[in-house]
Homo-oligomer: A and B are copies of this chain.
Amino acid sequence: MSTPTPVLADRQANISTVRHSRMASSYALAGALEMMGASMSFSRNEEIYGEGEPADYLYKVVRGAVRMYKVLSDGRRQIGAFYLPGDMFGLEAGAMHASSAEAIGDSTILVFKRSAVLALSARDADVARELWETTVRELQRAHDHMLLLIKSAQERVASFLMEMAGRGCGIDEVALPMSRQDIADFLGLTIETVSRAIGQLEDIHAIALPSSRRIALRNRAMLSRLTAS
């Protein structure tokens, strides 16, 4: 980070620590790479990168959550993915970002110089392999997401809840970090339709809502049937 780019220059103050974690890890990226990462803080709704900006960095969520999205000229927004702690993001084909990313709530993000990661992966085949596998998994998720977008509203919401439940630990209550609007833009629906679908799932006792951001899975089998996967 010797010559900060405009992207990061005004955020240098955010950098709190440079990690030198030495924990034994089976992952080359987690081991060799995390030492190179600068830990940065982003507050709620703060932009991490924007469409058209140079894609000079890769990112990894430590704490919080991130939405990656694209917008149409008239403002319609499609959230392509949510990233939770442990997820990497910012992988782009060209020199420029084709999408934008924002912190959903206050978040801590590890930031890696793209050139450094690529240089490392040119030397270390294990790193290269892991970078590729991360990318392929991301591709898989994108294809799954496409399949979601042809489902009915209820099926989309049920699928979303099952996915979020799967990403959390094994317990039956999901804490959603994102708003209904984020969920709607992720699922290709309106906020009202999402709200109604959640209400219907509550009516049939597939889920319960201790609060609007916390969802208890009451009947996973029923929910799973509704995903139509």
Which A residues have a C-beta under 8 Å from some C-beta of B? 70, 72-74, 76, 78, 80, 91-94, 98-99, 118, 121-123, 125, 128-129, 131-133, 135-140, 142-147, 149-151, 188, 228-229
A140: chain B residues at CB < 8 Å are 92-94, 98
Distance in angstroms between the alpha carbons of A137 and B143 in the assembled complex? 14
Distance in angstroms between the alpha carbons of A78 and B143 in the assembled complex? 9
A220 CB to closest chain B CB (Å) equals: 17
A91: chain B residues at CB < 8 Å are 136, 139
Q: Which of A74, A142, A188 has the most CB of B within 10 A?
A: A142
Q: 22 A-B Cβ contacts within 8 A?
A: A70-B143, A70-B146, A72-B150, A72-B228, A72-B229, A73-B229, A76-B150, A78-B146, A80-B146, A91-B136, A91-B139, A92-B136, A93-B139, A121-B128, A122-B125, A122-B128, A122-B129, A123-B125, A135-B139, A139-B142, A145-B146, A149-B150
A147: chain B residues at CB < 8 Å are 70, 72, 78
- Select from chain B the residue with minimum beta-carbon distance to A80: B143
A175 CB to closest chain B CB (Å) equals: 25
- Select from chain B the residue with minimum beta-carbon distance to A123: B125
A94: chain B residues at CB < 8 Å are 140
- Select from chain B the residue with minimum beta-carbon distance to A149: B149
A143: chain B residues at CB < 8 Å are 70, 80, 98-99, 142
- Select from chain B the residue with minimum beta-carbon distance to A126: B122
- Select from chain B the residue with minimum beta-carbon distance to A189: B150
A183 CB to closest chain B CB (Å) equals: 14
Distance in angstroms between the alpha carbons of A123 and B99 in the assembled complex? 33
- Select from chain B the residue with minimum beta-carbon distance to A98: B140
A149: chain B residues at CB < 8 Å are 78, 146, 149-150, 188
Q: A78-B150, A122-B129 are in contact. List 12 more A-B contacts (CB 8 A).
A: A80-B143, A80-B146, A91-B136, A91-B139, A98-B140, A99-B143, A121-B128, A123-B125, A125-B125, A135-B136, A145-B146, A149-B150
- Select from chain B the residue with minimum beta-carbon distance to A142: B142
